Amino acid sequence: MITTHISEPNHFLLTGATGLLGRYLMKDLTLAGVPLAVHVRPNRRFSAQERIEAIFSYWDQQLGKVLPRPMVLSGQLGEESLGMAPSDIRWAAENCTSVIHNAASLSFVSTGRDSEPYISNVNGTRNVLRFCQEAGIHDFHHVSTAYVCGLRSGVVLETELNEGQEFGNPYEESKVEAEEMTREADFITSHTVYRPSIIVGDSQTGFTNTFHGFYAAVQLVNTMCNHSAMEKQFTGHSDFHPGRVTLDGTEDKNLVPVDWVSSVMSHIISNPQHHGSTYHLTPRNPVQIRTIHAVLQASAKMFGTQLFGNKTAIEDATEIEQFFYEHIRVYDSYWRNDPTFDATNTRKAAPHLPCPHIDYKKLLFLARHAIDMNFSWRDKLIKRDASSLVIN
Ligand SMILES: NC(=O)c1ccc[n+]([C@@H]2O[C@H](COP(=O)([O-])OP(=O)(O)OC[C@H]3O[C@@H](n4cnc5c(N)ncnc54)[C@H](OP(=O)(O)O)[C@@H]3O)[C@@H](O)[C@H]2O)c1
Instruction: Name the pLDDT band for 390 (thresholds 50, 70, 90).
Output: very low
Alpha-carbon gap, residue 227 to 215, rounded angstroms: 18
Q: What's the gap in Å between 228 CA and the centre of ligand 1?
A: 34
Tell me the pLDDT tens digit for each residue of 30-50: 999 999 999 999 999 999 999
Q: Probe ligand 1: pick from 102, 169, 334, max atoms within 8 Å of CB?
A: 102
**Burial (0-12, 13-18, 19+ Cβ within 10 Å), 58:** middle
Q: Are 42 and 56 in contact (CB under 8 A)?
A: no
Tell me the pLDDT tens digit for each residue of 62-87: 999 999 999 999 999 999 999 999 99
CATH ID of 3-201+255-285+339-355+380-391, from 2.40.160.10, 3.40.50.720, 3.30.420.10, 1.10.10.60? 3.40.50.720
Tell me the pLDDT tens digit for each residue of 248-280: 788 899 999 999 999 999 999 999 999 999 999
Other beta carbons less than 10 A from residue 256's beta carbon: 22
Helix (H) or strand (E) holding 253: strand 252-253
**Structure pTM?**
0.92
**Burial (0-12, 13-18, 19+ Cβ within 10 Å), 269:** buried
The answer, yes or no, to whether the previous bond of 68 is cis (omega within 30 of 0) is: no
Cβ–ligand 1 contact at 257 (below 6 Å): no
Q: Are 199 and 256 in contact (CB under 8 A)?
A: yes
Q: Probe ligand 1: pick from 13, 15, 20, 358, max atoms within 8 Å of CB?
A: 20
**Residue ranges in the chain assigned as alpha helix (H):** 20-31, 48-63, 86-95, 118, 124-135, 170-184, 214-235, 258-269, 289-300, 319-328, 344-349, 360-372
Q: What's the gap in Å between 105 CA and the centre of ligand 1?
A: 6
Tell me the pLDDT tens digit for each residue of 282-316: 999 999 999 999 999 899 887 767 776 776 666 77
Q: Are 50 and 381 in contact (CB under 8 A)?
A: yes
| Ligand 1 atom index nearest CA of 124 | 31
